[in-house]
Chain A
Amino acid sequence: MLELLGRAAKGLGVLAATAALAGTIGTASAQETIKVGILHSLSGTMAISETTLKNVMLMLIEEQNKKGGLLGKKLEAVVVDPASNWPLFAEKARELITKDKVAAVFGCWTSVSRKSVLPVFKELNSILFYPVQYEGEESERNVFYTGAAPNQQAIPAVDYLAKEEKVERWVLAGTDYVYPRTTNKILEAYLKYKGVKPEDIMINYTPFGQSDWQTIVADIKKFGSAGKKTAVVSTINGDANVPFYKELANQGIKATDIPVVAFSVGEEELAGMDTKPLVGHLAAWNYFESIKTPENDAFIKQWQAFMKNPKAVTNDPMEAHYIGFNMWVQAVTKAGTTDPDKVIATLPGTKQPNLTGGVSEMLANHHITKPVYIGEIEENGQFDVVWKTENLIPGEAWSKQLEGSKDLVADWVQLNCGNYDSVKKTCLGSVTK
């Protein structure tokens, strides 16, 4: 409670500064440009992850301008800082759309920030590209989800562990908020459907920024000594990961004993850790920096040059922005306008080569097709891909595992509906559970 209050008040404090910043960038347009909004936290708790995404967007826009811009006009980035403050996200989104008149917005990281801006995008009819893996159970006309849906990350990871590591006992550990809770609900239903007994599933939630993991790691160790192969599926978010992995290493839990597969730990997070004791722990993503393709090599080189840092790492949400931005560019070019209605209608079906050698396609449910990779942490802080899907997996807005969501279909092309109930044959509209 206190923390929340603190965060809210802190956001207010930063508001003035960021408003000034946004103003200066906004007024710099002399000739006519197409404006692109970037809505990522540059201060507060989420700055750790979102700052990189702002930079990658700036790089992509610069690159596009070098190619001659879009529809004969230059692109112009409008950067605002919602300061990890969820209500401020909505305010900033409104400012971007009404004051700066941006053609599209690329932004948000946490699900709660996305939920906070949703009504704004609906009301003002604009476009949001959301680049982060999330819990699903959503499909909005104005939002394009370029990150992974649960069936593109969580479920393949669990399948891999069950098949390759012969895991029979599962610890679902997460930070206490909507993404881990929904993902774990889906995973629990999925595991039970696969025949895992309830006593072989342990679910554990911890507060944001948990730093004392002694008891929980000891519990995991205890849970893992029941004679069955045990694994941890971690939806632990952000800062809490470092002390978690440190505690695992200190208590001597190795990946060969109890592997941890994480959905929120990428190259960027590993950069702040001593990875030697973590070798073999896993992560499931749709992109790894270590994947060798010409596109990826070029992207990494471009990124390191843009950041003027030869050690700068790339990660999955960055690729999602790369795909999303290029899809948007294609759709605008094809539609010949940045008018949101026309672009929204054009986007489904757009195909864009991703960085790992495949071609991702925007689907009618506003999710994209993605390959799934499982990587093991290496000593150098990169991931060694140990498994991947043969084909690209289409993202599913509504989980097949959850009661109440398995009958829902999202299709903005044929049905013009994000939550069509295939049993009742009606569109539920904005009445979501």
Chain B
Amino acid sequence: MNDQASQPFSRTHCEKPKDCARTARSARRLLGYVFLLAALTFLSGVQPAAIGAASAQPASAPLAGADLAPALALLGTDSYGDTDAALGRLAVSTNTRAADIVEAIRDGRLLFDPQSKAVFLRMPDGAVTDAATGAAVGAPPAGLRPVRVNNRVRRAIDAAAGALALLSPDNQKRLAAAAAVFKSRDVSALPILDAALAKEGDPKVKTALEQARAAIIVASQSVSEPERVSAARLIAARGDQDALAILSSLPPNSPDAVKAAAADGIEAINRSLAMWAVAQNVWYGLSLGSVLLLAAIGLAITFGVMGVINMAHGEMVMLGAYTTYVVQEIIRTSAPFLFGWSLAIALPLAFLFTAIVGIIIERTVIRFLYGRPLETLLATWGISLILQQAVRSVFGPTNKEVGAPSWMSGAFDIGQMSITYNRLWIIVFSLLVFFALLLVLKRTALGLYVRAVTQNRRMAGAMGIRTGRIDALTFGLGSGIAGIAGVALSQIDNVSPNLGQGYIIDSFMVVVFGGVGNLWGTLVAAFGLGVANKLLEPFAGAVLGKILILVLIILFIQKRPRGLFALKGRAVEA
């Protein structure tokens, strides 16, 4: 048991695990005392300075850079702990340069000289200035290094930037600042928070500021009990997971009244969150359903309408995604201003490209195999391998980055439910594709021919329809739609040669479950399976959930071999 790595607290040899645990424990206890001591000395050093800075606020305009000196001294030491402490001081600084310095740390523009520990600020235009005074430095010393940032420092930056922006004239900035302080719960920000609250006019910002204040004082020992209780109630009224986090992390020595108020709040929040969770799961289900629909809808044509067991369907999706990648690469290098439109440009191109590939496959391979499902299966499987390896040889085996236009990133909240934009657009898009396809099949001449040929080939031929041509076009249509699906899926999945593999099983599942040859069946099956999967997942887990769905489908197909919406009448036999 002398494992140096796994037990950083104990560097001693010990024979038995028990001994080892004991040494580790005592060592930890010792370390704990040391830390406590260090923390005490540290606090006693910091606190007066912080308070001093805060109370000096109304006194006089600070000398250029004078009160920044202790913070800047800490920034030159290249230690995350010191940077953290420095940010704590900057947060309560009244110096107008503090915000610039915090921002410079965030952007990696604050530099220090490892030798002299002097700190410099590089302006966005590249000029190097003295961090304390803002005066330009003619010849900055060589070997300047940026002040390094890790998660701990990033948190301190957010807190400091928040505290410093509390008095900003911009409503949006104050709102963001209040949210930052709510998150950091930094006690030292309290005086500024009070000052900001006193002169706040905007009701929305005021609520946010009050919540931020409540988040700080609810855990504070130096505030009266009734005030803490009302703070707990105020936080509980937010009703979200952040509120839950604050209420459940109250210090254990809080008065009972505060604890009780927090417990009530937690219970109420949990109740409302549980209700929202159902809505959230249904939404996730619809979102998964839309992905299934997109992946399956092309197959609903090639397999559902034409009866071709098309194992290369997934690769058509993959080709569509790669088309998006190529379009974006071209836009990036030659016309960056078009980037917001890259997906719109990729859509028709992906459709055309995959449709042409589909038509070539149909004309060269599949048309010789109509009526021989096993051979079709093997041939299309082979094609799928060829396409995969071809893409791998051309683009390499690694994932390609497909960027998201800004209108597709981020999320918004409805109640306690968060809805991500990319998923929302994919749902909308999948429905658009579905109804467009329905329109093509039901309302256009091509659609009429397709239906005629698939329902009764010989009769259609006798009526003068060139059945071979229609076969090729139908297969092209199905492939083209798979390509369009690829454009959408490039936004949520990997763009790699394996992209298609992940969807082929799901696609067949949806088409077979929905009823072969019925587009509406595909729609209902996709969304049904999506929602069922997502409602099962929280209980059964992702792995078991998927298995359960498969078992249910197998049982269902046993009962109804033709799927949910079976075609009836003579068309079935054709």
CA distance in complex: A10, B314 (Å): 14
Digit string of A177-216 for contact with B (CB within 8 Å is 1, else 0)? Answer: 0000000000000100100000000001111011110111
Interface presence of A101 (CB below 8 A): no
Which 9 A/B pairs are nearest by Cβ-Cβ distance? A272-B399, A227-B249, A225-B241, A227-B248, A250-B420, A47-B397, A393-B5, A214-B284, A225-B245
Known contacts A45-B501, A271-B399; is-contact A206 B5 (Cβ 8 Å):
no
CB <8 Å contact, A272 and B411? no
Interface hits, A25-77 → B, CB 8 Å = 42-45, 47-48, 51-52
CA distance in complex: A151, B152 (Å): 25
CB <8 Å contact, A47 and B158? no
Residues of A within 8 A of B418 (CB): 218, 251-252
Interface presence of B247 (CB below 8 A): yes
Interface presence of A165 (CB below 8 A): yes
Shortest CB–CB separation between residue A177 and chain B, in angstroms? 11
Shortest CB–CB separation between residue B104 and chain A, in angstroms? 16
Of the candidates A165, A212, A219, A400, the one whose C-beta lies within 8 Å of that of B3 is: A400
Of the candidates A9, A225, A256, the one whose C-beta lies within 8 Å of that of B244 is: A225
Of the four ranges (under 10, 10 to 19, 20 to 34, 35 or more), the interface on chain A belongs to 35 or more
Max chain B C-beta neighbours (<10 A), residue from A214, A216, A227, A282 = A214
Residues of chain B touching chain A, judged by Cβ–Cβ distance below 8 Å, are: 1, 3-6, 8, 17, 21, 80, 148-152, 154-155, 158, 241-242, 244-250, 273, 280-281, 284, 287-288, 291, 381-382, 385, 388-389, 392, 396-401, 403-404, 409-411, 418, 420-423, 492-498, 501-502, 505, 534, 537-538, 541-543, 546
Q: Can you give 21 contacting A-B residue pairs, CB < 8 Å?
A: A44-B498, A45-B498, A48-B399, A48-B498, A52-B398, A151-B5, A211-B494, A212-B284, A212-B288, A221-B241, A225-B241, A225-B244, A227-B247, A242-B494, A250-B420, A255-B154, A271-B399, A272-B399, A272-B496, A280-B154, A384-B148
Shortest CB–CB separation between residue A266 and chain B, in angstroms? 11
Interface presence of A164 (CB below 8 A): yes
CA distance in complex: A273, B495 (Å): 10
Interface presence of A176 (CB below 8 A): yes
CB <8 Å contact, A210 and B411? no
Of the candidates B158, B246, B498, B534, the one whose C-beta lies within 8 Å of that of A227 is: B246
Residues of A within 8 A of B421 (CB): 250
Given contacts A48-B398, A256-B151, A376-B150, 19 further A-B pairs with CB under 8 A are A10-B385, A13-B382, A164-B80, A164-B152, A176-B543, A190-B6, A204-B541, A204-B542, A212-B288, A214-B420, A221-B241, A225-B242, A242-B399, A242-B494, A243-B494, A246-B492, A268-B398, A271-B401, A401-B6
CB <8 Å contact, A239 and B6? no
* Cβ-closest chain B residue relative to A386: B150
CB <8 Å contact, B498 and A218? no
Interface presence of A308 (CB below 8 A): no
CA distance in complex: A268, B401 (Å): 12
CB <8 Å contact, A155 and B152? no
CB <8 Å contact, A156 and B496? no
Residues of A within 8 A of B3 (CB): 151, 396, 400
CA distance in complex: A48, B537 (Å): 29
CB <8 Å contact, A215 and B537? yes
Interface presence of A259 (CB below 8 A): yes
Shortest CB–CB separation between residue B528 and chain A, in angstroms? 16
CA distance in complex: A391, B397 (Å): 36
Residues of A within 8 A of B241 (CB): 221-222, 225
Residues of A within 8 A of B242 (CB): 225
